[in-house]
Amino acid sequence: MSDAAVTIDALIARKGAGPRIAAMTAYDASLAAIAEAAGIDLLLVGDSLGMVVQGAPNTLAVTVDEIVYHVRCVARGATRPLLVADLPFGSYPDATVAFGNAASLVRAGAAMIKLEGAGHVTSIVEYLVAREVPVCAHLGLTPQSVHRFGGFRVQAREEAAAAKLRADAAALAAAGASLLVLECVPADLARAVSAAVPIPTIGIGAGPGCDGQILVGQDLLGITRGKRPRFVRDFLAGHGSVESAIAAYIAAVQDGSFPSAAESYA
């Protein structure tokens, strides 16, 4: 593993060439440091902290200030992985507000921000990128839309919805997004989108055909209680340490053995 910091350009260059991108969430300096030692490519300070750290039923109550706090923590623990931060619910109603909140995350240590959806969000992506804020887009199951979706459900199984997702992915890439998270969509659709867009796709519950994978850190370590989503694997089981578990996750992403067909959706 190189000690050089992972850059956006370096991840883009791996599309089609490999190795696949291994990403996970982290919210504190200690886990960030362990993940860095294991060789993780990308750390996300996600608004999933509302659920796995704060115990809320969804991500909607998380604030920009809370994301800023956790970005600072993670940035102190790891310097090699690309550090990405979520813009939480309600923090990007328009381009100028989005830029102000994104700037706060960049000042805290993030190298890239992530925001959910397309439509009017596409113009916000273009606005941010024009002002030197790199963007990771997010389609499929977008947790900030949980009430509209009626729960955490697999998305784009119908042809009309799949066609819209394909069009949205192309539009977001054209607007300047550098990465695209695909969450809880059929594996065949994710594979097709990954082949069609020029930027790396990072899947979570989107099958093995993406250019990389991401899991919530607590999920891949078997910490999260309750019903486990199909796409989650406990990598700590059978391994003697957190670092070796994360290293096993990275190896499984890179060799294509994670996710398996049983951990994907049709």
Given a cut of 70, whether residue 1 has pLDDT beyond it is: no
When pLDDT is averaged across residues 90-112 and rounded to a whole number, the result is: 98
Name the more confident of 181 and 224.
Answer: 181
Band of the pLDDT at 3, cuts 50, 70, 90? confident
Given a cut of 70, whether residue 83 has pLDDT beyond it is: yes
Band of the pLDDT at 105, cuts 50, 70, 90? very high
Our answer to whether residue 243 is catalytic in this structure is no
**Mean of pLDDT over the chain:** 97
Alpha helical stretches, state H, the chain:
8-13, 29-38, 49-52, 64-77, 95-108, 120-130, 146-149, 159-175, 187-196, 217-220, 242-255
123: nearest Cα among 104, 144, 99:
99
SS3 224: coil
Q: Which domains occur in the chain, in start order? A: 8-263 (3.20.20.60)
When pLDDT is averaged across residues 159-166 and rounded to a whole number, the result is: 98
**Residues 173-203 pLDDT 10s:** 999 999 999 999 999 999 999 999 999 999 9
Model-level pTM?
Answer: 0.97
Given a cut of 80, whether residue 2 has pLDDT beyond it is: no
When pLDDT is averaged across residues 219-231 and rounded to a whole number, the result is: 92
Q: What is the pLDDT of residue 225?
A: 86
Q: What is the pLDDT of residue 144?
A: 97
From 66, 159, 183, 243, the catalytic residue: 183
